[in-house]
C-alpha cells in the first residue's frame, strides 16, 4: 500500500516537471501572439487553467463532504480540507490573473463579468469553509459541520453564477467580456493546444499537491496523537 | 409529519413570547437599522438624485445587517443552561427545531422591517410610486430566503466560540445570489418598471428559497448531532 | 414474565470519539424499579455513556433494547420514555418555572399539562415562585425545577447525571425522597455520581466504569456499609 502510493507520487512528479516546461514553451514560444492584445494575452492560458482547477477543487470538496456525512471518516475529512486549501490558492491566482487580464484588455482592474465575480464569491466561500474547519472541538464535530457547509457552498456556486450573469445582461447590454473574446469567436488551433496542455499541467499539479497535502496532514495527526499519548504517560 | 409543525410552532412561540416580553433583540435590531440608515444618509446626500439609486440596496442592507443580530441571538440563547441539549433529548424531530427557529426569526425580522423600511423612506424623503403589493411580495420572499440560510448557518456557527464574528463571514457569500435578485427586483418595482422583469427575479428568489429550505431541512440533523 | 422485567439493556455498546475508544463493549442491564449507580474515576466515559444511552450520541456499534425491543436510530419513542437530568438544567432563564414546564410538556405531548405542571411545582416546593423568571434562582432551586422538568412526562427510566452536585442538605433530602418514590412506582433509575454517600443511600446495585469499560458490578445489600463499598471500589479501580 505504502509502496504503491510512493509510485503514484513519483509518477505524478515526473509527469509534472517536464509538462511544466513543455507548457511554458507552448505558451510563450510556440503559440502565436494574439493580434489585438499582444503579449498580455499569454496570461490567459494560466488563468483558465487555474480557474478550472479552482472550480474542480470545490466540486471535490463537495464530493468529500457528502462522503464525510455518509461515513464519518478521517480520510474524507482531510481530503476535503486539503482540496479547499489548494482551491483557495488557485482561486487567488485566478482572481489576480483575471485582474491583470482585465486591466490590459478592458483597461479596468475589475469588471463584474460573471465568471470573475463568481470566482470572487467562490473565494469567500472557500475562506468561510476554512474558518469552519478552524473551529475548536472534536474532529468528528468539525468534520460534520464543515461537510454541511461544504455541501451548502457547492449548491450555491451555480446559483451565484446564474444570478450574476443575469444581472449583467439585464443591467447593461453586453459590450465586452461576455465570453466572446475569450473563448468563443474561434480560438486558433495552436492556441487551443497550448491552452489544453496548460490545463492538463495545472490539473496534474493539483493532484500532486493534493496527495502531498493529505500525506502531510495525516503525519500531523499521527504526531499529535503521539504527543497526547506521551503527555498522558508523563502525567501518569 | 404533523407533529413536526406542531413542535416547530411550540418552539417558535416560546421564542416569540419571550421576545415579546423582553423586547431586547427586536429593540436592538430596530435601533441598529435606524443607525445604518443614519450613517448612510451621511454617506449619500439624501437631497440629491442619488437616493433613487441607493434605496433598493438600502432596503436589503438594513434587513441583512439587523437580521444578523437577531440570528446570532437565536441559537446562542439556546446554549444558556445547554437548553439545546434539552431540546435534542426531547422526543421531537430535529428538523422541527430548525423550522421553529426559521418561523420565529422570520416573524422577528419582518416585524422589524415593518418599522425600519418606512423609516428609511421617510428619512430619505422617498416618494413611493411602485406597486405596493409587489414590493411586499419581493420583501417577503427575499427575507424568507435570508432567514432560511441564516438560521441554518447560525445553528452551525453557534458551535464556535466566536460565533458572532463567524456568522456574517459564512452567511454573506451564500446570500449573494439572493441579494442580487432581491435588489434588482426591488429596483424594478420601485422604479415602476415592467413587472415581467421583476417576475423573473422573483422566480430566481423562490427557487433559491425552496432549494435551500430543502437542503437545510435535510442537513440540519447533522448539525444537531454534535458531540 | 418475571416479577421484575428488564427495562433497559445495553449490548456491546462501543463509542469511538475521534480516534479514541471512549466506550468499549459496554453490556449492562437495568431492571424495572431498580436503582443502578455508575461510578468511576474522571474521564472514564461516564458522560459519553449517558449521552449514547439517551440518544444524544450515536453509538459506533452495539444495541440498545428498551423493554426487550430493539431501539432504532434517533427514535422519539425512547426519548419519550427516558427522563434525562444532565449537568446543566436545560431550562430557559428568561421563562418562569411554569412556562418552562409547559414548554417542555408540550414537546413531550404531556396530557393534562396544566394540572400536572402545578402539582409538580408544589412537589418540588417552587409553587410560590411559579411566575418568576428563573434567572434569579439559586443552583438548588434550578436543580429542583430541572427535576420537575424531568418528571413531567412520567418517564419509565430516569437518568440522573450527578444529581447531587451543588445541592444543600434540604434539596438532597427532597431529591432522594422523589427518587425513592419514583422507584416504588416502578421507575428504573440510572445514576452517575461521585457522591459515595448518596450512592450508598440510594442504589440497589453499583457498576464501576473505568477507561470506557464496566470493570465490575456489585449488588448493595443491607450487609454492605459505606466504608465497605468504598474499599471495594478502590480495590476494583486499582486492580484493573
Domains of chain C: 6-239 (3.40.50.300)
CB C52 within 8 A of CB C23: yes
Rounded Cα–Cα distance for residues A11 and A15 (Å)? 6
Backbone torsion region of residue B194, taken as left when φ is above 0, otherwise alpha when ψ lies between -120 and 50, otherwise beta: beta
B227 versus C153: which is more confidently predicted? C153
Cα separation values, C231 from C205, C219, C239, Å: 16, 14, 12
* Nearest CB to A145 within list B172, B174, B223: B223
Q: Flag if C90 and B83 touch (Cβ within 8 Å).
A: yes
Q: How far apart are CA A161 and CA A64, in angstroms?
A: 22
Cα–Cα distance between B205 and B145 in angstroms, integer? 7
Positions of chain A with pLDDT under 50: 1, 171-185
pLDDT at B196: 79
- The pLDDT score that the predictor gives to residue A181 is 44
pLDDT at residue C4, rounded to an integer? 55
Interface residue of A73, A140, A142, A236 to substitute, partner C, most C CBs within 10 Å: A140
Instruction: For residue C36, list its beta bridge partners.
Output: C190, C205
Look at A138 and C17 and tell me if their CB atoms are within 8 Å: yes
C7-52 per-position pLDDT tens digit: 788 888 888 776 677 888 888 888 888 888 888 877 777 888 888 8
Contact C19 A138 (CB under 8 A): no
Q: Is C17 on the interface with A (CB under 8 A)?
A: yes
DSSP per-residue string spanning C90-159 = ---TTS-HHHHHHHHHHHTT-SSHHHHHHHHHHHTT-GGGTTS-GGG--HHHHHHHHHHHHHTT--SEEE
CB contact under 8 A, A144 and B225: yes
Q: Chains contacting B with at least 3 CB pairs below 8 Å?
A: A, C
Give B204's contacts in chain A (Cβ within 8 Å): 159, 162-163, 166
CA–CA gap between residue A144 and residue B222 (Å, rounded): 7
Distance from CA of B199 to the nearest CA of A (A): 13
Report yes or no: A185 and A89 within 8 Å, Cβ to Cβ.
no
CA distance C45 to C17: 11
Domain membership of residue A194 as a residue range: 2-235
User: What pLDDT is stored for residue C188 in this prediction?
Assistant: 87
User: What distance in Å separates the CA atoms of residue A182 and residue A94, rounded to the nearest whole number?
Assistant: 15
CA distance linking residue A169 with residue A22, whole number of Å: 39
Say whether residue C18 is in contact with chain A using an 8 A CB cutoff. yes
Q: How many domains does chain A have?
A: 1
Which among B184, B208, B222 has CB closest to A159? B208
The answer to whether the beta carbons of residues B179 and A121 sit under 8 Å apart is: no
| pLDDT, position C202 | 83
Helix H, strand E, coil C: the string for B73-100 is HHHHHHHHHHHHHHHHCCCCCHHHHHHH
**ipTM reported for the complex, 2 dp:** 0.88
Report the pLDDT value the prediction gives residue A178, as an integer from 0 to 100. Answer: 44
Residue C71 DSSP class: P
C109 to chain B, any CB pair closer than 8 A? The answer is yes
C77 touches chain B (CB under 8 A): yes
SS3 C205: strand
Residue A78: the pLDDT is 93
Scored b (16 or more CB within 10 A) or e, C194-233 reads ebbebbbebbebbbbbbebbbebebebeeeeeeeebeebb
The candidate with the shortest Cα–Cα distance to C117, out of C84, C73, C153, is C153
pLDDT at position A28: 81
What are the pLDDT digits (tens) for A137-178?
Answer: 878 888 999 999 999 999 998 888 888 888 876 543 333 344
Those of residues 9-28 in B touching chain C at CB distance below 8 A are 10-11, 14, 18, 21-22
Residue of B nearest to C16 (CA): B227
What is the rounded average pLDDT of the residues C120-142? 85
Choose the mutation target among C107, C132, C152 for the interface with B, i.e. most B CBs under 10 Å: C107
* Coil/strand/helix, residue A190: helix
Listed as ranges, residues in chain B with pLDDT below 70 are 1, 46, 226-227
pLDDT at residue number A171: 46
Contact between chains at B10 and C107 (C-beta distance less than 8 A): yes
B223 in A contact zone (CB under 8 Å):
yes
pLDDT of residue C27: 85
Nearest by CB to residue C95, choosing from B11, B18, B94, is B18
pLDDT at res. A179: 44
Q: Which residue is closest to B22 within chain C, CA to CA?
A: C94
Among residues A209, A230, A191, A174, the alpha carbon closest in space to that of A53 is found at A209
Percent of chain C with pLDDT over 70: 95
Question: Is 50 exceeded by the pLDDT of residue C164?
Answer: yes
Amino acid at each position: 500500500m505504502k509502496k504503491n502510493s510512493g509510485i503514484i507520487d513519483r509518477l505524478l512528479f515526473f509527469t509534472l516537471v517536464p509538462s511544466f516546461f513543455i507548457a511554458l514553451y507552448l505558451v510563450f514560444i510556440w503559440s502565436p501572439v494574439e493580434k489585438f492584445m499582444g503579449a498580455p494575452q499569454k496570461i490567459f492560458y494560466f488563468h483558465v487553467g487555474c480557474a478550472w482547477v479552482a472550480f474542480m477543487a470545490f466540486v471535490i470538496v463537495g464530493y468529500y463532504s457528502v462522503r464525510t456525512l455518509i461515513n464519518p471518516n478521517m480520510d474524507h475529512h482531510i481530503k476535503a480540507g486539503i482540496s479547499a486549501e489548494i482551491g483557495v490558492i488557485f482561486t487567488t491566482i485566478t482572481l489576480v490573473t483575471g485582474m491583470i487580464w482585465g486591466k490590459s484588455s478592458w483597461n479596468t482592474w475589475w469588471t463584474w463579468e460573471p465568471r470573475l465575480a463568481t470566482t470572487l464569491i467562490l473565494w469567500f466561500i472557500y475562506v468561510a469553509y476554512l474558518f469552519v474547519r478552524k473551529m475548536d472541538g472534536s474532529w468528528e464535530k468539525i468534520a460534520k459541520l464543515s461537510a454541511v457547509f461544504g455541501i451548502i457552498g457547492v449548491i450555491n456556486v451555480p446559483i451565484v453564477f446564474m444570478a450574476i450573469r443575469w444581472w449583467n445582461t439585464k443591467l447593461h447590454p453586453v459590450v465586452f467580456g461576455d465570453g466572446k473574446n475569450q473563448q468563443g469567436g474561434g480560438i486558433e488551433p495552436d492556441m487551443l493546444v497550448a491552452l489544453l496542455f496548460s490545463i492538463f499541467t495545472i490539473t496534474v499539479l493539483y493532484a500532486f499537491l493534493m496527495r502531498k497535502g493529505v500525506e502531510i496532514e495525516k503525519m500531523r495527526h499521527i504526531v499529535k496523537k503521539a504527543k497526547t499519548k506521551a503527555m498522558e504517560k508523563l502525567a501518569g | 409529519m404533523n407533529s413536526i409543525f406542531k413542535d416547530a410552532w411550540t418552539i417558535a412561540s416560546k421564542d416569540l413570547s419571550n421576545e415579546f416580553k423582553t423586547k431586547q433583540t427586536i429593540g436592538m435590531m430596530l435601533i441598529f437599522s435606524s443607525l445604518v440608515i443614519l450613517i448612510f444618509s451621511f454617506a449619500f446626500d439624501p437631497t440629491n438624485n442619488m437616493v433613487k439609486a441607493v434605496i433598493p440596496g438600502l432596503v436589503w442592507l438594513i434587513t441583512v445587517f439587523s437580521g444578523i443580530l437577531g440570528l446570532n441571538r437565536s441559537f446562542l440563547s439556546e446554549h444558556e443552561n445547554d437548553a439545546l441539549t434539552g431540546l435534542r433529548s426531547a422526543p421531537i424531530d430535529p428538523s422541527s427545531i430548525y423550522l421553529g427557529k426559521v418561523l420565529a426569526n422570520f416573524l422577528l425580522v419582518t416585524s422589524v422591517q415593518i418599522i425600519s423600511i418606512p423609516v428609511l423612506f421617510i428619512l430619505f424623503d422617498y416618494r413611493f410610486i411602485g406597486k405596493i403589493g409587489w414590493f411586499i411580495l419581493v420583501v417577503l420572499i427575499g427575507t424568507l430566503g435570508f432567514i432560511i440560510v441564516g438560521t441554518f448557518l447560525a445553528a452551525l456557527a453557534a458551535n464556535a466560540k466566536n460565533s458572532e464574528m463567524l456568522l456574517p463571514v459564512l452567511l454573506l457569500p451564500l446570500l449573494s445570489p439572493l441579494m442580487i435578485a432581491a435588489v434588482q427586483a426591488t429596483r424594478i418595482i420601485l422604479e415602476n418598471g415592467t413587472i415581467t422583469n421583476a417576475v423573473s427575479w422573483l422566480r430566481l428568489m423562490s427557487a433559491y428559497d425552496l432549494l435551500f429550505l430543502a437542503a437545510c431541512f435535510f442537513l440540519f440533523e447533522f448539525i444537531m448531532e454534535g458531540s | 414474565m418475571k416479577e421484575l422485567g428488564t427495562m433497559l439493556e445495553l449490548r456491546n455498546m462501543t463509542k469511538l470519539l475521534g480516534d479514541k475508544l471512549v466506550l468499549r463493549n459496554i453490556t449492562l442491564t437495568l431492571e424495572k424499579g431498580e436503582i443502578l449507580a455508575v461510578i468511576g474515576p474522571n474521564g472514564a466515559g461516564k458522560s459519553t455513556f449517558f449521552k449514547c444511552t439517551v440518544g444524544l450520541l450515536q453509538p459506533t456499534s452495539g444495541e440498545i433494547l428498551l423493554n426487550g425491543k430493539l431501539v432504532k436510530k434517533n427514535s422519539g419513542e425512547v426519548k419519550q420514555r427516558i427522563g434525562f437530568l444532565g449537568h446543566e438544567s436545560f431550562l430557559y432563564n428568561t421563562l418562569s418555572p411554569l412556562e418552562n414546564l409547559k414548554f417542555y410538556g408540550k414537546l413531550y405531548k404531556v396530557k393534562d399539562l396544566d394540572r400536572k405542571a402545578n402539582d409538580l411545582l408544589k412537589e418540588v416546593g417552587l409553587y410560590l415562585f411559579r411566575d418568576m423568571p428563573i434567572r434569579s434562582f439559586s443552583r438548588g432551586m434550578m436543580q429542583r425545577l430541572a427535576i420537575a422538568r424531568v418528571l413531567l412526562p412520567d418517564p419509565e427510566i430516569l437518568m440522573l447525571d450527578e444529581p447531587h452536585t451543588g445541592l444543600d442538605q434540604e434539596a438532597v433530602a427532597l431529591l432522594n425522597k422523589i427518587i425513592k418514590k419514583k422507584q416504588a412506582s416502578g421507575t428504573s433509575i440510572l445514576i452517575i455520581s461521585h457522591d459515595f454517600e448518596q450512592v450508598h443511600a440510594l442504589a440497589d446495585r453499583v457498576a464501576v466504569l473505568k477507561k470506557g469499560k464496566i470493570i465490575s458490578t456489585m449488588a448493595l445489600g443491607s450487609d454492605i456499609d459505606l466504608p465497605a463499598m468504598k474499599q471495594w471500589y478502590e480495590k476494583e479501580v486499582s486492580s484493573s
